[in-house]
A and B are shown apart, each in its own frame.
Chain A
Amino acid sequence: MSLVNLEAVHKRFGEFEVLSNINLSVSEGEIVAIIGRSGSGKSTLLRCINGLEPVQQGRITVDGTEVTAANADLNNLRQRVGMVFQSYNLFPHLSVERNVTLALKVVRKTPYAEARDIAHEVITKVGLADKFGAYPDELSGGQQQRVAIARSLAMGPKVMLFDEITSALDPELVGEVLRVLEALAADGMTMLLVTHEMKFAKTVGNRTVFMHEGRIHEEGDSRETLEHPRTPELTGFLDAVLH
């Protein structure tokens, strides 16, 4: 059974169709890399999956919940779908610990001691046990991004959405974030990740989806797709990012 399923999804901003007829099915434990040029609709695709953007046509289901239903309980769904953004978006007025425990306490009503234990566990997992009490502006970009991952993990999501989470980082900080993703992959987390790290897409991704002008232009096994592109558009794109 697929965990995330998109059927004939169309998304428009006004007249402009940003996503055209997207069909995508992601199974539990699968890691899907989404690549494509700027403006091809990659972020919009992820944002439709957790209902941050409404769609005009088609059906999206995640973990048995129909996201596109008129009465969908999005706040409930989002507890099961983690999302990490390019610009980290930590809460600047809260410490690392409280960034991570906030949703547990407010949304889940988890008792304080338990929330703290969960926070300890996930913050340790991303390698920041010594930064528990720090504030976001005291952390490097790479550290902030790892806290953002921990913040999502604390809710115990079924699937994680990553939107170019290393793009805003200095090159020397990219590795520490990718290692966290690799550890999540090894744990069997289902992931959809928009990335420009082709090597990472190839080695960690099971499947690669190439977006072009709002459509899934090409998709398949990551290694196969990235080593032997079938369309001139993907060939051109790979040439451009690799050189």
Chain B
Amino acid sequence: MIREFGSEDILFLLLATRWTILLTLASALIGGTIALVVAVLRIVPLRPANWLAIGYINLVQGTPVLGQLFIFFFGFSVFGWSVGAWTAAVTAFSIYASAYLAEIWRGGLQSVPKTQWESSAALGLTYLQRLRYIIVPQAVRINIPPTVGFIVQLIKNTSLASVIGFVELSRAGQMLNNATFAPMSIYLTVAAIYFVICYSLSNVSQRLERRIHVAR
């Protein structure tokens, strides 16, 4: 039963890495879309919208992702829906990402000087036109580093999905460990894979930041 840690195991880990990346990508995309709406609701000059956004952000940030994972995995079955581990994980991480990204982007939007709102208003741009053509483009540049920083956290946090049986990189490591009992080699390999992904991402972000700066 017990065997050596070999090259086919590395392949197994790399294949599981796909799911870590897919889960991160899906959550960042869906969460990012929700975050854009929440961030805008957070800053529009309309109190009820602000409250709604603040309530949402506090609710999500005030509960652990682990709990959210369980809620989406088991909670829906109460209503008779059976939800797979993938759907539950994407839902939980999208919601988690949406609240954090909304807060990050709100900060970016608010750091654009008020005079930019005013001078674009004075030219006859509507509120949404000011946001789209003047405020958001300037906020994007400010937002790249913290956004990438959050996504690096997200990549590592997706390992929590292993608790509902979703086989991503960490879960694959556990499974191998049960078969080989070579924890050092396995977990060092797992850590190295996380590192390569996260490090490359930070690197791309730095390059992007420089490019955007040169081209404004």
**Residue ranges of A at the interface with B (Cβ–Cβ < 8 Å):** 50, 52, 75-79, 81-83, 85, 87, 89-94, 102-103, 106-107, 135, 148, 151-152, 155
- For residue A100, give the distance in angstroms from its CB to the closest CB of chain B: 10
Once A92-B138, A107-B129 are accepted as A-B contacts, the answer to whether A79 and B118 lie under 8 Å apart by CB is no
Q: Within 8 Å of chain A (Cβ to Cβ): is B120?
A: yes
Tell whether, in the assembled complex, residue B123 and residue A92 are in contact, meaning their CB atoms are under 8 Å apart: no
Tell whether, in the assembled complex, residue B123 and residue A85 are in contact, meaning their CB atoms are under 8 Å apart: no
- 0/1 interface trace, chain B 42-83, chain A, CB 8 Å (1 if under): 000000000000000000000000000000000000000000
Tell whether, in the assembled complex, residue A151 and residue B216 are in contact, meaning their CB atoms are under 8 Å apart: no
Provide a sorted-by-A list of 23 A–B residue pairs whose CB atoms are within 8 angstroms.
Answer: A52-B122, A76-B124, A77-B124, A78-B122, A78-B123, A78-B124, A79-B123, A81-B122, A87-B115, A89-B118, A91-B134, A91-B138, A93-B137, A93-B138, A93-B141, A94-B216, A102-B133, A103-B123, A103-B124, A107-B123, A152-B122, A152-B123, A155-B124
Once A93-B137, A93-B216 are accepted as A-B contacts, the answer to whether A75 and B124 lie under 8 Å apart by CB is yes
Complex: A90 Cα to B129 Cα, angstroms = 16
A89: chain B residues at CB < 8 Å are 115-116, 118-119
Q: Within 8 Å of chain A (Cβ to Cβ): is B40?
A: no
Tell whether, in the assembled complex, residue A85 and residue B216 are in contact, meaning their CB atoms are under 8 Å apart: no
Tell whether, in the assembled complex, residue B133 and residue A135 are in contact, meaning their CB atoms are under 8 Å apart: no
- For residue B113, give the distance in angstroms from its CB to the closest CB of chain A: 8
- For residue B1, give the distance in angstroms from its CB to the closest CB of chain A: 62
Tell whether, in the assembled complex, residue A75 and residue B125 are in contact, meaning their CB atoms are under 8 Å apart: yes
B115: chain A residues at CB < 8 Å are 85, 87, 89
Q: Within 8 Å of chain A (Cβ to Cβ): is B197?
A: no
Size category, B interface:
10 to 19
A50: chain B residues at CB < 8 Å are 122
Tell whether, in the assembled complex, residue A85 and residue B119 are in contact, meaning their CB atoms are under 8 Å apart: yes
Complex: A140 Cα to B122 Cα, angstroms = 23
Tell whether, in the assembled complex, residue A155 and residue B123 are in contact, meaning their CB atoms are under 8 Å apart: yes
Q: Within 8 Å of chain A (Cβ to Cβ): is B192?
A: no
A77: chain B residues at CB < 8 Å are 124
- For residue B143, give the distance in angstroms from its CB to the closest CB of chain A: 13
Q: Within 8 Å of chain A (Cβ to Cβ): is B126?
A: yes
- 0/1 interface trace, chain B 88-123, chain A, CB 8 Å (1 if under): 000000000000000000000000000110111111
B125: chain A residues at CB < 8 Å are 75, 103, 106-107
Complex: A93 Cα to B141 Cα, angstroms = 10
Complex: A3 Cα to B111 Cα, angstroms = 37
Tell whether, in the assembled complex, residue A75 and residue B126 are in contact, meaning their CB atoms are under 8 Å apart: yes
Q: Which A residue sits closest to B216, measured CB to CB?
A: A93
A78: chain B residues at CB < 8 Å are 121-124
A155: chain B residues at CB < 8 Å are 123-124
- For residue A88, give the distance in angstroms from its CB to the closest CB of chain B: 8
- For residue A158, give the distance in angstroms from its CB to the closest CB of chain B: 13
Complex: A41 Cα to B141 Cα, angstroms = 36
- For residue A224, give the distance in angstroms from its CB to the closest CB of chain B: 32
Tell whether, in the assembled complex, residue A85 and residue B133 are in contact, meaning their CB atoms are under 8 Å apart: no
Interface centre among A76, A79, A89, A102 (most CB of B within 10 A): A89
Interface centre among A90, A94, A135 (most CB of B within 10 A): A94
Complex: A106 Cα to B129 Cα, angstroms = 8
- For residue A230, give the distance in angstroms from its CB to the closest CB of chain B: 34
Tell whether, in the assembled complex, residue A92 and residue B124 are in contact, meaning their CB atoms are under 8 Å apart: no
6 interchain residue pairs of minimum CB distance: A89-B119, A103-B123, A79-B124, A78-B124, A83-B122, A93-B216
A93: chain B residues at CB < 8 Å are 137-138, 141, 216
Complex: A141 Cα to B95 Cα, angstroms = 46
Tell whether, in the assembled complex, residue A85 and residue B138 are in contact, meaning their CB atoms are under 8 Å apart: no
B126: chain A residues at CB < 8 Å are 75
A52: chain B residues at CB < 8 Å are 118, 121-122
Tell whether, in the assembled complex, residue A106 and residue B121 are in contact, meaning their CB atoms are under 8 Å apart: no
